Amino acid sequence: MAPRTLLDKLWDAHQVTAETPDTPAILYVDLHLVHEVTSPQAFSELRARGLRVRRPARTLATLDHSTPTLPADAAGSLPFVTPAAAAQVDMLRGNCREFGIELLDLAHAQRGIVHVIGPELGATQPGMTIVCGDSHTSTHGAFGALAFGIGTSEVGHVLASQCLLQRKPRAMAIEVRGRLQPGVTAKDLVLHIIGHIGVDGGTGCVIEYRGEAIRALSMDERMTVCNMSIEAGARAGMIAPDEVTFAWLHGRPRA
């Protein structure tokens, strides 16, 4: 068998139906992260068609995009910037109740930024396919997951079927040798890469980062690198899991 990339292995493991020249592949999704901004229309489409959420246990919702950063006032009211932001929060609460989806609400101890809670809780794991209605879903690729952002209509598709129609991206390898010098951060590294390949250098690709310098990064630093893959135009970024990955996940609530 010819050598395969990390993308090849994950794609083949999750492909329900292979793509053809005329049709995209059907890809199974292991974890669907949902937030209040890109989900309302998707839930409305399910409701209009009389559909249920196919795999509620594979869907996790959190409130993070439109939520206030200031605490509640003496009456318990939160200072939402706009009525529309408050409406989005209320809508997600109602949709999660109606469709049986777990919601990490504002007072929940595990609530947080959508691309932080997955790693923090151990819900993001190597070998998974992960999608969310947010471009920086690529952050989760730091754990050896194939993770990418999707649009609102696609959010509806995943809610209804736990699958997604996708054309397979190309694979791009970026190897970083040596070690970062003192004072040089992961953000510096990925910005240098983007400056080298250009803001469209990764278009249509999943970037697999490898090499000694990548292996020396902490999980937080790896998440930074994969997160910023989008700024190079890439579909996603990935780093193969190793002992650093497994040590991070050990003992986390959902690992």
Side chain identity at 207, as an amino acid letter?
A: I
Domain segments of the chain: what residues?
6-249
Q: What is the pLDDT of residues 135-188, one digit of tens each?
A: 999 999 999 999 999 999 999 999 999 999 999 999 999 999 999 999 999 999
Query: What is the third-level CATH fold of 6-249?
Result: Aconitase; domain 3 (3.30.499)
Q: State the pLDDT at residue 103.
A: 98
3-state secondary structure of 142: helix
Q: State the pLDDT at residue 76.
A: 77
CA dist 4 and 72 (Å) reads 52
What is the sign, positive or negative, of the torsion defined by CA atoms of 235, 241, 245, 246? positive
CB 126 within 8 A of CB 241: yes
Q: What are phi and psi of 26, to 5 degrees?
A: -100, 120
CB 48 within 8 A of CB 147: no
Q: What is the pLDDT of residues 102-118, one digit of tens each?
A: 999 998 999 999 999 99
Q: Considering only CA atoms, which of 199, 150, 143, 177 is closest in space to residue 32? A: 150
- Indicate whether 79 pLDDT > 90: no
Q: State the pLDDT at residue 71.
A: 82
What mean pLDDT comes out for the span 85-104? Answer: 96
Q: State the pLDDT at residue 99.
A: 98
156 alpha carbon, distance to own chain's centre: 16
